[in-house]
Structure 1
Amino acid sequence: MTEKADQGVVERLRAIPSVESILRWPWVAPWIERLGRAVVVREVRTVAEALRRELRAGQFVEDVPREIEQRVRGRLEALERPSLRRVINATGVILHTNLGRAPLSTAALQAIERIGAAYSNLEYDLARGERGRREAHCQEALRRLLDVEAALVVNNNAAAVLLVLNTLAEGGEVLVSRGELIEIGGAFRLPEIMAKSGAILREVGTTNRTRLDDYERAITERARLILRAHWSNFRIVGFTERPALRDLVALAHRHGLPCYEDLGSGCFVDLKPWGIPDEPTVAHSLAEGVDVCSFSGDKLLGGPQAGIIVGRATIIERLARNPLMRVVRPDKLTLAALEATLRAYLAGRIEEIPVLRMIALTPEYLRRRARSFARRLRRTCGEAFHLRLRDGLSVIGGGSAPEVGLRTTLVALRHERLSAHELETRLRAADPPIIARIEQDEVLLDLRTVAPEEERFILQTLSAIAPSIE
Structure 2
Amino acid sequence: MSETVGQAAEHDARTLGALLATMPAVERVIASEEAQPLIAQYGRTQVLDAIRATQDAWRRDARAGVLANEDKDTEPFSLERVIADTVRRLAERTQSRLRPVFNLTGTVLHTNLGRALLPDAAVEAVVQALTQPANLEFDLASGKRGDRDDLIDSLICELTGAEAATVVNNNAAAVLLLLSALANRKEVVVSRGELVEIGGAFRIPDIMSRAGARLREIGTTNRTHLKDYEAAINARTALLMKVHCSNYAISGFTKSVELDELAPLARQHGLPVAVDLGSGTLVDLAQWGLPAEPTVRATVEAGADLVTFSGDKLLGGPQAGLIVGRKELIAKIKKHPLKRALRVGKLTLAALEPVLRLYQAPEFLQERLTTLRLLTRPATQMQEAAQRALPALQRAVGDAYAASVEPMFSQIGSGALPVDVLPSSGLVVRYAGKGGSGRALLKLERALRELPQPVIGRIADDAVRLDLRCLESWAETAFVAQLAELRL
Please indicate, yes or no, whether the TM-score normalized by the shorter chain is above 0.5: yes
SS state of the match for residue 343, structure 1? helix
Change (3 A) 1:57 1:372: closer
* Corresponding residue SS for 1:303: coil
- The corresponding residue for 1:88 is 102
How far apart are the structure 2 equivalents of 1:463 and 1:7? 45
Match of 1:429 among 450, 463, 471: 450
* Residue matched to 1:310: 324
State the 1:61 CA deviation. 4.9
Query: 2:173 maps to which residue?
Result: 159
- Judge which range, 208-217 or 114-123, deviates more: 208-217
TM-score, normalization: structure 1?
0.91
What is the deviation of 1:345?
0.5
Alignment partner, residue 283 of structure 1:
297
Asked if 2 retains the 8 angstrom alpha-carbon contact of 1:184 and 1:232, the reply is no
Matches within 5 A, 1:207-246: 207-246=221-260
- What is aligned with 1:402? 418
- The partner residue of 1:357 within 373, 377, 387 is 373
C-alpha spacing 1:71/1:464, structure 2 compared with 1 (3 Å): closer
1:141-160 matches, within 5 Å, as 141-160=155-174
Mark the CA change 1:20 to 1:130 in structure 2 (over 3 Å): closer, same or farther: same
1:214–1:59: structure 2 CA closer, same or farther, 3 Å change rule? same
In the TM superposition, residue 416 of structure 1 has moved relative to its aligned partner by 6.6
Does residue 136 in structure 1 map to residue 136 in structure 2? Answer: no
Give the whole-Å Cα distance in 1 for the aligned partners of 2:205 and 2:83.
53
Map of 2:469 onto structure 1: 448
Aligned-pair distance for 1:89?
1.3
Match of 1:412 among 404, 421, 428: 428
Q: Cα offset for 1:188?
A: 2.2
Count of paired positions: 467
The answer on whether the counterparts of 1:141 and 1:346 sit within 8 Å (CA) in structure 2 is no
CA distance in 1, matches of 2:357, 2:425: 33
CA offset digits 1:27-55 (Å, max 9, x no partner): 43322211111122223323433444454
TM-score, with normalisation over the residues of structure 2?
0.88
- C-alpha separation in 1, matches of 2:206 and 2:239: 17
> CA 1:13/1:214 → structure 2, altered by over 3 Å: closer, same or farther?
farther
Give the stretch that moved more between structures: 374-383 or 134-143. 374-383
5+ long unaligned stretches in structure 1: none
Q: CA deviation at 1:447?
A: 1.9
Match of 1:33 among 35, 40, 59: 40
Q: Tell me how far apart the structure 1 counterparts of residues 45 and 281 of structure 2 sit (CA, whole Å).
A: 51
Paired residue for 2:481?
A: 460
CA distance in 2: counterparts of 1:61 and 1:113, whole angstroms: 46
**1:319-398 superposed matches below 5 A:** 319-348=333-362, 349-351=364-366, 352-374=368-390, 386-398=402-414
Instruction: Could you tell me which runs of 5 or more consecutive residues in structure 2 were left unpaired when the two chains were aligned.
Output: 1-5, 70-75, 434-438
Q: Is 1:43 the counterpart of 2:50 in the alignment?
A: yes
Q: CA deviation at 1:195?
A: 1.7
1:227-265 CA-partner distances (Å, limit 9, x unpaired): 211224221222222111222222222222111111110
SS in 2 for 1:95: coil
Distance 1:365 1:60, change over 3 A: closer
Does 1:267 pair with 2:274? no
> Is the Cα–Cα contact under 8 Å of residues 239 and 272 in structure 2 kept in the other structure?
yes
Mean Cα displacement is larger for which, 354-363 or 305-314?
354-363
1:302 aligned partner, one-letter code: G
Deviation at 1:456, TM superposition (A): 1.1
RMSD: 2.6
CA–CA distance in structure 2, aligned partners of residues 41 and 17 of structure 1: 13
Structure 2 CA distance for partners of 1:45 and 1:232, relative to 1, 3 Å? farther
User: In the alignment, is the contact (CA less than 8 A) between 1:410 and 1:445 conserved in 2?
Assistant: yes
Q: Does 1:23 align with 2:30?
A: yes
Provide the secondary structure at the position in 1 that maps to 2:350.
helix
**CA offsets per residue over residues 303-349 of structure 1, 9 Å max, x none?**
11111111001111111111111111111111111100011101222
Distance of 1:161 and 1:242 partners within structure 2: 21
Deviates more, 1:44-53 or 1:265-274: 44-53
What corresponds to 1:173 in structure 2?
A: 187
> How many Å separate the matches in 2 of 1:196 and 1:380?
51
1:97 to 88, 95, 111: 111
Q: Which residue of 2 aligns with 1:111?
A: 125
The Cα of 1:454 is off from its aligned counterpart by 1.1
Instruction: For 1:390, give the aligned amino acid.
Output: E
Q: Quickly say closer, same or farther: Cα 1:135–1:416, change in 2 above 3 A.
A: same
- What's the secondary structure of 2:425's corresponding residue? strand
Q: Answer with 1 or 2: which has the greater Rg.
A: 2
1:76-114 per-position Cα deviation (integer Å, ceiling 9, x unaligned): 112221111111212221101111000000111111112
Q: Give the direction of change, closer, same or farther, for the CA distance of 1:83–1:381 in structure 2 (3 Å limit).
A: closer
For 2:84 and 2:216, the matched residues in 1 are separated by 60
Match of 2:72 in 1: none
Say if 1:74 and 1:382 are closer, same or farther in 2 by CA, change over 3 A: closer
Matched AA of 1:40: V
1:45 partner amino acid: R
8 Å contact 1:415–1:423 — kept in the other structure?
A: no
